[in-house]
Structure formats: C-alpha cells, structure tokens
Structure 1
C-alpha cells in the first residue's frame, strides 16, 4: 500500500508551485530574527541630581552624636521614616505615609496611640511596625552617644496592636514633647539581633529604607554616596532615578558647577567657599547662594566627674584662659557665636544667657584667682601646679571630624600659653564618645581619615606630652569648692587614665563635640546636662550631674518652657561650667538657574535640611543624556 502524504504538507507544496510560476520576481526578504534574540532599543541614562558636600562623615546613624553631619541628615531625610516631620516653618506635621493618626488617648497613664499606614514597609519587604518603635525607644534609653534621648527615657512601655500596625506608647508622666519622638525609625528586624546592630550597619550605609530613596552604595575612596529610587516605596515614587552626594573640595566648586559635574553644592560657609562663589559671579550662570544654620552648636565639654576639672574652680580657670572668639575666628570665621547652653542663634527670639563676667576672652586675673583658690601655684616657668604636680589636661576630638580636631589644637595652644599643659588626642569619634578612657592617638597632620581606614597614625600633629621624669610628690587634697557637686570629687585623679603621655588609655578632660539644637529647649537641656540614667555609667564623656540643677531641668522636660525656669538653669550652668559653647556653623546651598528650575531647592527646615522634598525634584536641564545602544545581551 502506498503511503499517503500528510494533509498538513499540502499548503507548502501549493505555495512552492505558485512561487515557481511567478518567476520569483520579488526581492528576497531577510530572515526573521530568532525568537530569543533581545530587541535593539534606546537605553536612557538614569536621571539624577548630584549634590556636592564637604565630606561624607564618619557614619549614618542620625541618632548618634558621633555621626552628626549634613550628609547623615540628608540620608535620614530621604530614607528613614518619621511619624512627624517639620513643615517649611519648622512646625511638626503628621507624615501620613507612615502613620494615619497619632494622638494622646489617655492621661492616666499618659498614652500616645499611633495608627500606622498599613502599606508602609521597609525596602527589605518587612512592614514598618511596632517593633521599630520598641527598638528605637530601647536603644535611645540605654545607649551612650545619643542625641536628645531625654524624651525616650520618659517612656514606660511600648505596646503593639493590630498585628504590629498600631502602637501605644505609655509614659511615666505627661510628656508635652511627644511629637518630637520616633523620628528616623530604624529597621528593627535587621538590627535587633545583629552584633553591633546599633552602630556597625551604619558605618557605610543604611540597612533598609522606609522612604522614597534607598542607599545603594557608599564609596569612601571616591567620596560618593549613591541613592536610588526605592522601588518598593508605597507612596508617590521619586521623580529622578538617583541622588548622588559627592565630596567636592571648595577649590573645585566653580569647575564642578560650571561643567555640570554637580548640580548644587551644600558646603559649610567659609573663606574658601566665599572665594569660589566670587569666582563664579561673572559666569554665564551666576550661582544662587542661600544661607542656613547647621542644626548643632560646637562646644567644649569639660569633664566634671573626676580628674583636675572635677573642681569647678579649675573649670573656671580653664574657661578664663580660653579666647572663644579667637577659636571661632581661627577655625570657622563665618560661624555665629553662641552664648547659651540650651538655645542657639537659629532659635526664634534667641537671647544670649551669658552673665556679665562669663568666660569669653582671656581674663588672666580671673584665671589666676580661680586656680589659686583651688590650691594651685604658678611657678617660675609659668606653669600652674598643685603640690609640685603640673596641671595637665587632655583635649580630645574625633579623628573623622576635621573641624573638631582643628578646635582641639587651637584650644591646646591657648591653654599652653596660659601655663597649662595640654595634650591633643584624636581617636575614632565613636570611641571618644562612648568610652571613659581612650588610646592617646595623636591627630594626623594630613586630611581626615575616612572610617574603616584604621586609626589616625601616631606620627604627625603634636606628640603627647611626656610625663615627669621624676615621680611627682603626693597630690594634696585641695579645699572643696563652695557649692561643688556632692557627686564629684574635687581631688585630681592620679590614675594612669588621666596622665598624658605613655601608651596606656587616657581620660579626656576637654572634649570637642557638638550638641543638637533641634526641638524644644527642655529636652535639649536635660539630654545634655541632666544626670545620666542608672543603667548608663556616670563617667562617660560629656556626662555631668549637678543634683541642685535636676529639679529645674525636670520642670523644663515635662512642663512649659517658662523663661524664668530656663534662666535659672542657664545661671547654674554658667556657674558650674560643664561645657563652654563656641559657635553655630552656617551652611550654604549653592545652585544655578537650571538647578533652581528643576528642584526649587531651599535650605529646608533646620532638622531635615536641603534634601527635604528631593523626591519631587527633576533632573536639571543638560544633566542627563540618552544614548541608543543595544540592550544587554545583544
């Protein structure tokens, strides 16, 4: 039997016959591309805004004093969720992308209830939930080196409802400043069980985002932080694909702006930046320059718990030896002087609280009287000594914080000129602010090292002062200072930890650091000058405890900002001198017409800075380019 041709082959035979009859007059057609071949299409470069910054800072946890910097503020503003955010006038407003409601629901006990947005989540996929409130409250209550922790210490309990999407925060007593809490929430599910979770994950990034952008890369070698649009973000997505924060030295600002290497700059005001702006004034696109204060005040914290500065008369002598105006002029001449412990020039209605005769410029007569009353004698060599033992102090600043190190060196110069031995050390900022004693690491004479590059080398800068070659005589106990704190000893410590020189750890007597000036005055004063909680050591750097001051501070924490109460607190602080305020630095926002049209950038509220609203920015004209290339894999 002859096999029959399958029916499905007939159309092909008929088509072949028709082509033969037509003589194949048509042009040959190209073969279709394979089905798995990627198409050729135009690939558009990511849209982006590039902001120049002075440096990246040591880390990016917005709740750590050691990590404070404009870059940390910018990253927190763009990536971390906050229940309340400041509006253009600085008034706190509920952020409904995070919480749909937040209000006081009980007076006995005082309770604030939060209803969280059910769509709010971290870029890791976890929801923003009650555990994030619990984690932040616990860390702020128990960790050193934190910013404005006083309000969190008023919390008695944090309770979860509605599968974690509702939170009840119970306070020990009515707390009027509760809206300032739970700003910059952190991803508890990634941090709570991680070793060093409070600090380590923030050294080079932010573990997860709960905002319109997320940190994709921190390149400290190139000095760049890359933030990309957070695709899992549940609210209106960011307009641009990327935000880049790029380290831009002042001398390169004109070239960087004119070549469009950066779209705007966010430097500290200073002589070098002023010269750069002046150089751009005659360019085709003259810059727009907006000025804004930084959200912190530079200060010198004086060690009150032990060592030579435990005696308030010695603190007075030290303060009367220093020239605060000269320090500011040497280090940051564009800054605004500060003469208050709580308020800052950026506060509405700021008035200096320094009384007549408060330390401002060197007053040798006052210094001599204070040291003499404390039992010190000035020798023929001009050095102050107690029982033959020279007065030596250690001045410390974080190695990663260039300005702090510069201040420390100027302070040491002034102290030496006044007959006081001074040694400058610059260990890592987190160590300096969390340890009672630190390695006597000398400051580097070169540029500030970035975190992760190791400690500052011991060479360069001023070497630690060598201890006496002969054993000093026993230190006599000076007469206690009238009104001195009962919790502090007036006797200078003779332990190795307070002796300059050698390889052992030393305690810092004069600490150069900053204090935040965002939020209500009461929580600021209590956070900076109140007695530390019982679960924290009382000898941490920057801690002070004046029992007579505590009732005044308590009134400011839980009551209204009564001017008379604030004045009383300031009076005691100027008498006891746990710190010496210096100045408030001024920041700049430098842009040009094309950037202004695309971003409408402003200095922003004090607490959130110029990157506030960056999710609405578009790319400035001329910054992005589209190129037609083959898709990957072609």
Structure 2
C-alpha cells in the first residue's frame, strides 16, 4: 500500500510527465536533412559521325599537298567564301560574308566587295580586307598552289571603310572573278605564324569564319571534331558537333552496323565493297566523284625526262588501265588534261596510239632515238649508265604512294631502274630537291596521342616513327620529319600529284600548265611541280584564262600540245562511296553536293540521327 507521501510523489511525477509530453508536442519535429535535389541530366551533345579514309597531310584548301575530302569539308564549313556554289553548282553571293560584289570599273578592271559588318572570325577579329590581301599575296607567290591563275592578274587590293570594303584591281578584264577569294584565311593569325602558309595549317584551322569551328585534331585516334561556332553571326548550326573519324573498311562496316557511324565518304575500293556486302541492303549508297584527278607528272626541266622522247617512251611503257585497276578500280579513267571524267562536256582527247595505250615497240624506238641502248638483260643504259628514274609521292597520301609503287613495278619490268621515295607532301610540291625517304611499308603513328586543339595556329604536326598498320586501314597522316632519315636528297623525275578540277576551265588550264612571266611585283614567279613551261603554249593559255567562255579551238590546241609534250600523264578521277544508315540519311539528306564543295555542303542544317 502506498502511503500519503508516496501518493504525493507519484502525483508529482505524473504531472511532470504530462508537462513534458505537452512541451514535446508543441516543439517542432526534428527530421534528417532531405537529400539535395538531383541535378538535371546533362543533355548529350547532338552529333553526326562521318567515316573517312584519312585526315590528310594538312588543311590548307589552296595547297596541292593538302588536297583531300576532309580538307574540302573543313573549308566548306569553317572558312568564309565570297561566293559559293548552289545545288546546281552555280555560284551565288554568300551574303553572310559580303552584302555585294560587283564590277565597278573596266579601266582598270575593278571589283568592289562590301563586306557584312557582322562577319568576324571566332578570334574576334573582323573578316576584312587584310584577309583578301593575305590570300592574294600567297596565291600568286607561293609554289604548289591550286588555281592560282586569277590571283596573278590582280595588281592591287585596297581597303576602305575600316577594312569592310575591298577594291580588287586587275591588269585586264577577268570574267571569272567570282571564283576568287573563296576559302579566306585569317590574316591576323597566319601572317606572322611560323610556317604560315604551308606549316601553320597542318594541325587544324586556328579560327573559324563559318558555322562550325575545328576544336580537335587528334591524329593518334584519327579524329577531327567540328563544334558549332557559337560566335557565328548568321543562322547557327543545328548540330553541336560533327566528328570526322578515320576508319578502315572492316571497322567502318561494323560502325555502320551498330550505329556508331552515321554517314561515310571513303574512296571506293574492292576491300570496302567486300566489307559492306552484308550491310548493303540496309545502307543508302551513292557514288560521288571527287574534285580531283590523279596525274603522273613527268619532270621536264631536268634529268632524263627533259628529253620529250624519253617522256613519251615512259608514257608508252605504262599501262594506265592496269595502274587504275591495281590502285583504284572504281575510279574513272581520265584521258584529258582539262575536264574531269565526271564533268559535263568531258570527252577523251587522247591520241589513238601511245601514250593513250601501252606500246612497248614504240617505247623502244623512242629510247633508241634518244641514245639509249638495251642490254642483254633488258636494262636500258646511256653511255654505260643505267636509265634510272626517281618516282615520288607524298608520304601522307597513301593512295598516291601505291600509284608510285605500281608505276615503278611496270617500269622495272620494262628495263628501267627506279627508286620510289615518299617525302612530306608539302616538300614534294614546293621544293626542287626532296629527302630520299623510302615509302613506308608500315604506318607512322600520329604526332602524339594528345589531341591537338585548334584554338591557335598549330605549328607542330611533326613526324614520328613507323609502326605496323593493317593493310585494310589507311595510315594516319605523317608529318615532314616522321619518316626514317634518308641517306641523301634527290630530285624526283616522276611525281604522283592530285589535280584540282571543278573550277572555270580556262584559268584551271593556265594554273596547271602555264608559266607566267616575271613582273616587277613578282620577279620570280613559282614554277609548276612538273617544271613544265611552254613559251609557245603560254599565249593560248592566257587567252583562255581571260575569256568569259573558252574557245573550243583553243581548248583543242591545248589538249593536242599537252599530249605531244606530255608534262603529265592523266590517270584517273577518284570516286567516293557515300553511305548512310537509315537514321543518318533521314537526319542529314547525305548526298554528293556540288563537285567543288563536296558531300558535307550544307551540314550546318543537318539534324542528329534518331535511332
């Protein structure tokens, strides 16, 4: 039994508990801190992956050495041009660059360009008159350029309106002026850059004046990444980025099958056809001739080939159809010096006999007339010394190297000793003497495994040692010093070279085969890679270059004289095999595009494929 005192204590305790419970019920309930909200998912960059054969030697669209589908694509999407071809190939003023361009005087012939005041490089400098001056000066003075004839007729480039108006003065009427000043380059960056014209663009394009910019060139991985240029003043690109990825036939086929590659533009080869056989029904396939003809230049300014009879003997010994079948069987056979086989109006201008087709008997007769003697073992000699020819192709141009090897094999079988060399392409088309670097039997690795960003001029791009490469995968681009150290320097007798096609025919012929006279402004104009110069042909070439419409008789004369002189031997026009997956085709409308600008024309309007 609880006594009075116990009951009192119990009551007191109960009261305390009631008070405590009441106090607790009036206090906020303490809970653990809630988890911070999850960040919104990061949107995956919208992109299109484009399969390519190779990245090429460099990215200057005005250099023979850098001629490639990748360089054409970058020029089309990154560099500004005053005029661009429409879907039918007709030039149209690009008003994002120039609001007007017109002939304002005929004495002297003067063209005025009013530039878009908003047009600027991604480096924040305006696209202005100094960019016109830089391109003009380089095109008329540097060797190894493409379509330089029109720039040789420019006598002055004047700046007005703070550089946003440009007056270009010519030495005579030049009807093809609209084809000039495409692929403008950033003068403020390049004019003082080491290597400038030939070297500064080997690792990328340092800035952009178009809807995309080059952000990464990774030769180790074989990738060029283009990102949307957020500083572009006109309609922005739809995609965040375009990835150009170097892939061999088998890897490309697998990438298309699993959706890692959306579209591709490799050069057509039997290996590619075989690799794609199982995928063919599900792919959209199109043939797209490239704006290039592969030629074999015969150096006519020195050595054995300075004798036209020896040039013709070499031409008569070579079986061009077998060369094409061995290296590019899907290419188009070329039998003219001007138009390419895919161009409207093309027709063979080759003579009925050699060098249009091989003729060993005629070749032997020509060599005997030139003083050579055939020994009992079949070797041709002159004064006891063997007839020996050096055949060169750019180290970074694997298809050209294969052509050089095939040419060497045919000449050796005919009793002519040969040496095949593969110097850097930039040296081959600009220098008279090149390193006697043997062609790689294995592929050189890239400059480094670290991606090269293109935010500033890239002057490294240097070479490396060679490593084994599968025959199905084109080797990455090599740079000048990458090949094994040569034992000596040589002068090439035959050069495998790409010839640009697709521009106006008269200026193209004058650029490819002309030899301009020295002037006070240019006392030492650059020579052609072939060394060819015909004083008799030069007036005809100049007349064609300045004509609004080429004269048919003059064109026929040029073709006839070139077959007679044989400064180069046309071989073939490479063909790209365009392919796209179903989603890739729907999103991009991938197609050949105009010949001069290629399949990536209009890629700023592409959408990302939806699986």
TM-score scaled by length of structure 1: 0.84
Pair 1:453–1:119, CA change in 2 (3 A): closer
CA contact (8 A) 1:113 1:169 kept: yes
Pair 1:568–1:456, CA change in 2 (3 A): farther
Aligned to 1:77: 76
CA contact (8 A) 1:398 1:432 kept: yes
Pair 1:456–1:399, CA change in 2 (3 A): farther
Gaps of 5+ in 2: 1-21, 448-460, 470-484
User: Is 1:24–2:26 an aligned residue pair?
Assistant: yes
Aligned to 1:510: 494
Pair 1:354–1:448, CA change in 2 (3 A): farther
Q: Secondary structure at the match of 1:151?
A: helix
Distance 1:38 1:68 in 2: 53
- After superposition, residues 157-176 of structure 1 pair within 5 angstroms as 157-176=156-175
- State the 1:303 CA deviation: 0.4
CA contact (8 A) 1:86 1:92 kept: yes
Distance 2:309 2:364 in 1: 10
Q: Secondary structure at the match of 1:225?
A: strand
CA contact (8 A) 2:109 2:169 kept: yes
Aligned to 1:308: 304
Distance 2:29 2:40 in 1: 27
Aligned to 1:4: none
Match of residue 530, structure 2, among 542, 562, 570? 542
Distance 1:121 1:32 in 2: 50
- State the 1:432 CA deviation: 1.0
User: Is 1:46–2:48 an aligned residue pair?
Assistant: no
Segment of structure 1 superposing worse, 205-214 or 446-455:
446-455
Pair 1:210–1:379, CA change in 2 (3 A): same
Pair 1:26–1:117, CA change in 2 (3 A): same
Pair 1:38–1:29, CA change in 2 (3 A): closer
Distance 2:309 2:562 in 1: 14
User: Is 1:378–2:387 an aligned residue pair?
Assistant: no
Distance 2:66 2:337 in 1: 21
Pair 1:24–1:98, CA change in 2 (3 A): farther
User: Is 1:135–2:119 an aligned residue pair?
Assistant: no
- State the 1:371 CA deviation: 1.0
User: Is 1:602–2:591 an aligned residue pair?
Assistant: yes
CA contact (8 A) 1:427 1:456 kept: no
- State the 1:455 CA deviation: 6.4
Q: CA deviation digits over 1:349-368, x for unaligned, max 9? A: 21111122141332111111
Distance 1:162 1:450 in 2: 45
Distance 2:212 2:525 in 1: 38
Aligned to 1:275: 274
User: Is 1:614–2:603 an aligned residue pair?
Assistant: yes
- State the 1:453 CA deviation: 5.6
- State the 1:457 CA deviation: 6.4
Aligned to 1:571: 560
Q: Secondary structure at the match of 2:502?
A: coil
- After superposition, residues 105-504 of structure 1 pair within 5 angstroms as 105-282=104-281, 286-447=282-443, 450=446, 452=461, 454=463, 503-504=487-488
CA contact (8 A) 2:435 2:486 kept: no
- State the 1:543 CA deviation: 2.9
Q: Secondary structure at the match of 2:562?
A: helix
- State the 1:32 CA deviation: 9.2
Distance 1:253 1:106 in 2: 54
User: Is 1:562–2:551 an aligned residue pair?
Assistant: yes
CA contact (8 A) 1:290 1:589 kept: yes
CA contact (8 A) 1:338 1:583 kept: yes
CA contact (8 A) 1:443 1:456 kept: no
Distance 1:387 1:48 in 2: 64
TM-score scaled by length of structure 2: 0.88
Match of residue 575, structure 2, among 586, 590, 607? 586
- State the 1:588 CA deviation: 1.7
Distance 1:408 1:520 in 2: 29
Gaps of 5+ in 1: 1-19, 461-500, 623-634
- State the 1:200 CA deviation: 2.2
Distance 2:465 2:141 in 1: 29
Q: Secondary structure at the match of 1:582?
A: strand
Q: CA deviation digits over 1:1-32, x for unaligned, max 9? A: xxxxxxxxxxxxxxxxxxx9894376557769
Distance 2:497 2:465 in 1: 18
- State the 1:447 CA deviation: 2.8
Distance 1:136 1:571 in 2: 33
